[in-house]
């Protein structure tokens, strides 16, 4: 195996690991606002007795260049952003709504607990 073969293998390794590193870093860049861990995620039929306080449409990058982030990572980021916004609006429950595209989603925000 010549020196150029080792370099090519190293490049392949970097190309394979880059999406994993990128996905992990992107998830860590989302702020976890104090109180957001207490915000529940509910179905629309479970908030009949709650007060609707607003809505939010949140978005994150689903692709960076030619690299697609995993749907689970994108959805986790969207949920965290919606929970953060619920705290800002005085809500304690979010209901996922329309998803016009991967990386973007609307959430209804409710106040269900006293």
- Cα Dmax for the chain: 70
Q: How many angstroms separate the CA atoms of 84 and 86, rounded? A: 5
25 pLDDT band, cuts 50/70/90, is very low
C-alpha dihedral, 29 to 60 to 99 to 87, nearest 10°: 50
pLDDT one-digit tens code per residue, 74-103: 999 999 999 999 999 999 999 999 888 889
27 pLDDT band, cuts 50/70/90, is low
pTM score of the predicted model: 0.74
Indicate the CATH number for domain 3-111: 3.30.110
* Percent of residues, the chain, with pLDDT higher than 90: 59
Residue in this structure with the two tokens 């609707």, named with its chain if needed: 52
At 19, list the tokens: 């999406």
Phi/psi of residue 31, each to 5°? -65, 140
What pLDDT, on a 0 to 100 scale, did the predictor assign at position 2? 52
């Amino acid at each position: 195996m010549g020196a150029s073969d080792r370099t090519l293998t190293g490049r392949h390794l970097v190309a394979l690991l880059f999406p994993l590193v990128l996905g992990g870093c992107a998830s860590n860049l989302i702020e976890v606002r104090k109180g957001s861990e207490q915000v529940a995620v509910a179905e629309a039929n479970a908030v009949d007795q709650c007060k609707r306080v607003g809505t939010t449409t949140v978005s994150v990058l689903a692709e960076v260049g030619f690299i697609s982030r995993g749907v689970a990572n994108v959805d986790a980021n969207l949920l965290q952003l919606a929970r953060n916004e619920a705290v800002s609006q005085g809500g304690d429950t979010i209901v996922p709504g329309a998803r016009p595209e991967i990386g973007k989603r609307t959430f209804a925000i409710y106040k269900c607990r006293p």
